[in-house]
Structure 1
């Protein structure tokens, strides 16, 4: 015999918040689905029926029912924006365990800053291996690989386009290209000529 599903009591204010979340098109799908689980459970639906309606298994529905029941007392004491934030927290995934990063954000910033410096003589430019030696010599990190240095430098690249994407200012005459763009246009037109 299956154990009975926990009962959910839903006062008017939390119900209103959950209904808003369940209808939202801007909220993450998982949060919308979990709000629907709680609303259906509060209306007396069984976990199996909720799971079938939402395309979830019965265990997942039971997990979110229990999570809500465990938080009911705490939620009853809240109102307004604090209630909304608490409901979202209850219906959100908990942080998952995993190994912490090997490098702090400060260390990563120091490595990127080091790569931006002019290298010492006789070097003309930094290589990953030079950056590894210098990072360890400066005490930024006790050990680091060239691959990790490369990953940090790749993640620190600017994501903006190399040419401005905005239209030229209005004070320019119509038909006049911005500085530097005339050359781009010539190169483009010469590469697309039909023989």
Structure 2
């Protein structure tokens, strides 16, 4: 007799059927849902791992997560990471400053001048010259000076 690793409720079965019939589903979610469905049918961890081409331990962990969290484990949880330090509004201020006339005594802006001016104007409490360069690079700006000292795009 086959060992029943997971026993799905009728609601969970309907939810999985509906989820798997959708065309736009991430691969991770699809594999997890298919794994739970196959385990409910009575397949072993080994058989499911070979069918889905994932590790045996992965199938075991998905089964354990389903038992503890329910079907919410199918979806990825938000991942931690460094919060965004410079948003689009800040990038636009940096770009606008780079397009302005450089300080007196300078023919054009340098990255160090821009970073110092950003801190001086309290746009940001700190911003390194390399970060200024990355922001301008994303905006496709070049530090090639023209007659009025503004940056060319």
Give me the TM-score of the superposition, normalised by structure 2.
0.69
RMSD of aligned alpha carbons: 2.9
Cα distance in 1 for partners of 2:15, 2:100 equals 52
State the Cα distance separating 1:104 from its structure 2 match: 4.2
- Contact 1:18-1:35 within 8 A present in 2 as well: yes
Q: Given the superposition, is the C-alpha separation of residues 22 and 71 from structure 1 closer, same or farther in structure 2, using an over 3 Å criterion?
A: same
- Contact 1:8-1:68 within 8 A present in 2 as well: no
Superposed structure 1 runs of 4+ greater than 6 Å apart: none
Query: Unpaired segments of 5 or more residues in structure 2?
Result: 141-153
Query: Unpaired segments of 5 or more residues in structure 1?
Result: 73-86, 158-195
Q: Partner of 1:18 in structure 2?
A: 16
Bigger RCO (CA 8 Å, 6+ sep): 2
State the Cα distance separating 1:134 from its structure 2 match: 0.8
Q: Given the superposition, is the C-alpha separation of residues 125 and 20 from structure 1 closer, same or farther in structure 2, using an over 3 Å criterion?
A: farther
Q: Partner of 1:188 in structure 2?
A: none
Q: Partner of 2:58 in structure 1?
A: 60
State the Cα distance separating 1:63 from its structure 2 match: 1.9
Name the larger-Rg structure. Answer: 1
Q: Does 1:32 align with 2:30?
A: yes
Give the length in aligned residue pairs.
Answer: 138
Q: Partner of 1:136 in structure 2?
A: 119
